[in-house]
Each structure stands twice: as C-alpha cells, then as structure tokens.
C-alpha cells in the first residue's frame, strides 16, 4: 500500500550523494495500563524529541537485531528479558533521513506488560525515560517520520507485523507499506 503522501507526479528527490547506511533497533515497552516507555533524547539523532528506546547494532561484532534489542533494553532500563519476551514487530527503511543517513530499523515489542518498578533508572546520558499514554504519543514532540508514519503503523499492527519504506528525500515524505495493514483513513491508503 502506498501512502497518500506519495504524489502521482511530485518533486524529484533531492540527491544527497553517497550517504552512510545505519542499522538500528527501536523497542516498544508497554505497561499494564497501555502506556509506552519513551526516551526524551538529549543526544542526536532527534535531540529534544521523544522516541522508543533503542540504538545501533554492533555490526562489527555481528550482533543480531534480537541481541541488539535485548542489549539496548538492558542498557537503558536495567531490564533483563528472555528471548521469547521480545518480538519483531516491524521493519522500517528510511532513505536520506534528515539528508544525512539511510536507516534500516528493526522494531521490537516486549510481549508482556512491563511493571514501571522493574525499570532501574529513569535518567541516563541519552536522556530521561517517561511513560506516555499511547493515545498521547502523537501529540508530543516526536520525529516527523514517527508521528506521520511509524507510530500509527506500530499501534495499528500491535501484536502483528509490518514493513514500511520511507523516502525522506522529498516533501512531503513518500512511504510504502509492503507488509501489514494500515489504519482506516491513514494517508488515504
């Protein structure tokens, strides 16, 4: 499915030249009330904005996406999860995010509710962890790609799986969902 943001004939994509490709994970942890744990970021990318916890794969060590998700969850929350408690929920590819980097992002969901008391520390170098009501996420400072595309797909496909490609070289961004479903009225899809 293709998003409403894709014009039939629109501006040509901006050529940013050769850009690095990064591989990362984002991890969605929910509590029993359905709130999601977000990081209010102090560092780039997305400094000053909220995002799920996560980070880059240690590719030089051959780290798998699942291992990276478990490591990032432990590093940022102190929570040690079993492999069967973490589920691959989606894959996002972004072309020329902020004109600086191409991203391949594996989205993971913790399969059980997380008790807020399990989180060891809510403050770290990267920022502050906060629990946010799921229906309030779109109204806080989150990256445009998250607000417009990723967060609606994460919520709609919760417990399922989706794949989306986002082309950030044009305004408005162009996106295509190749697996999963889209919410009714979402971008006209």
Q: What is the pLDDT of residue 99?
A: 83
Please provide the average confidence, as pLDDT, over all residues in the chain: 89
pTM value? 0.87
For residues 34 and 184, the model is more confident at 34
**Residue-range domain boundaries for the chain:** 21-180
Cα–Cα dist 100/165, whole Å: 17
Q: Which fold has domain 21-180?
A: Nucleoside Triphosphate Pyrophosphohydrolase (3.90.79)
pLDDT tens across 54-77, in order? 999 999 999 999 999 999 999 999
Q: What is the pLDDT of residue 10?
A: 53
Q: Strand 162-167 vs strand 86-97: parallel, antiparallel, or unpaired?
A: parallel
């Amino acid at each position: 499915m293709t998003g409403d943001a894709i014009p039939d004939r629109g501006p040509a994509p901006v050529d940013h030249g050769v850009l690095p490709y990064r591989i990362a994970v984002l991890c969605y942890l929910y509590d029993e009330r359905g709130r999601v744990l977000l990081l209010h970021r102090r560092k780039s990318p997305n400094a000053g904005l909220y995002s799920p916890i996560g980070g880059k794969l240690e590719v030089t060590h051959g780290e798998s996406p699942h291992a990276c998700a478990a490591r990032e969850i432990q590093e940022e929350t102190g929570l040690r999860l079993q492999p069967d408690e973490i589920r691959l929920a989606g894959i996002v590819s972004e072309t020329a995010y902020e004109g600086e980097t191409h991203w391949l992002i594996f989205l993971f969901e913790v399969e059980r509710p997380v008790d807020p008391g399990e989180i060891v520390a809510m403050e770290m170098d990267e920022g502050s962890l906060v629990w946010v009501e799921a229906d309030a996420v779109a109204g806080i400072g989150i990256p445009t790609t998250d607000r417009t595309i990723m967060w609606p797909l994460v919520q709609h496909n919760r417990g399922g799986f989706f794949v989306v490609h986002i082309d950030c070289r044009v305004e408005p961004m162009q996106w295509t969902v190749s697996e999963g479903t889209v919410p009714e009225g979402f971008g006209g899809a």
